[in-house]
Amino acid sequence: MAGVQGAQQADMQRDTAALNARTAENQAIDLENANVREKADARMIASHQLSNQRAIAAAKGISLDSDSSLSLFDTTSLQSQFQDERLDYNSNQKTKSLNQSADFSRYEGNARAQNSRIGAANSIISGAGTVAANWYKATE
């Protein structure tokens, strides 16, 4: 009886760990998708900002090809690129952490399942030893 319960417990622990791993992987995918949306939003904001800068410069009669205008536009573009890189870096770090957590959950679940099965086997062996000892005593 203990052997069957131990095996059931082992399966349940492994299945729970697999569920936790899938949850972490799904969170990582959601995070990657959110990063794509956030980067698109940031690019749109930067594009609007650049358009506004060009419109203001043109309205004030400043040449869009002047060094100061080009410098301003380049700075805005560079800031947008930095923001993209920062978003990617942060997303990659969090995604990596979630995927490592998923791997650890699987490993832990398999280890716990194995320990439960070993415990069940020990229980069966112990029971068999007790039966053998009692039989031996009875035959003396």
Q: What is the pTM of this model?
A: 0.64
Q: Please, how many CA atoms are within 13 Å of residue 119, restricted to the half-sphere of its CB?
A: 14
127 or 38, which is more confident:
38
Summarize pLDDT for 65-80 with one digit per residue, the tens: 887 778 888 888 899 9
pLDDT over threshold 60, residue 110: yes
Domain residues of the chain, as ranges?
2-133
Q: Around Cβ 69, how many Cβ atoms within 10 Å?
A: 16
pLDDT over threshold 80, residue 115: no
pLDDT at residue 3 in the model = 58
pLDDT at residue 71 in the model = 84
Give yes or no for a contact between 98 and 31, defined as CB atoms under 8 angstroms apart: yes
Label each residue of the chain as H, E or C.
CHHHHHHHHHHHHHHHHHHHHHHHHHHHHHHHHHHHHHHHHHHHHHHHHHHHHHHHHHHCCCCCCCHHHHHHHHHHHHHHHHHHHHHHHHHHHHHHHHHHHHHHHHHHHHHHHHHHHHHHHHHHHHHHHHHHHHHHHHHC
1 or 85, which is more confident:
85
Determine the average pLDDT of the residues in 88-116. 87
